[in-house]
Amino acid sequence: MSDKTPQKATGTAQRAPDCVTEVRMGNTILTVSGYFKESATETAADKMARAIKAEVASEHHSFKSA
């Protein structure tokens, strides 16, 4: 049986994740590692504020059309 796990390209530098979250679900622990774009100009707070504004705008629009 062959190993089907994708391999990382050689010659690329691996960096540590920018955030790591662990969630326990029963007897299982899920670990999620996150990486942010190194050249990003928008902060996580900026992105969340934009998402909340969009959500509020869509809810406001759905109330008007009802």
Query: For position 43, what pLDDT does the model report?
Result: 87
Give the Å distances, CA to CA, from 54 to 14, 40, 46: 35, 21, 12
Query: For position 60, what pLDDT does the model report?
Result: 67
Taking residues 42-55, what's their average pLDDT? Answer: 91
Amino acid sitting at position 15: R
Query: For position 58, what pLDDT does the model report?
Result: 86
Structural domain boundaries in the chain: 42-66
Residue 57 per-residue DSSP state: H
Query: For position 61, what pLDDT does the model report?
Result: 64
Tell me the pLDDT tens digit for each residue of 5-43: 555 555 567 889 988 999 999 999 999 998 888 898 998
Q: Which residues of 4-18 are buried (b: 16+ CB within 10 A; e: fewer)?
A: eeeeeeeeeeeeeee
Query: For position 36, what pLDDT does the model report?
Result: 84
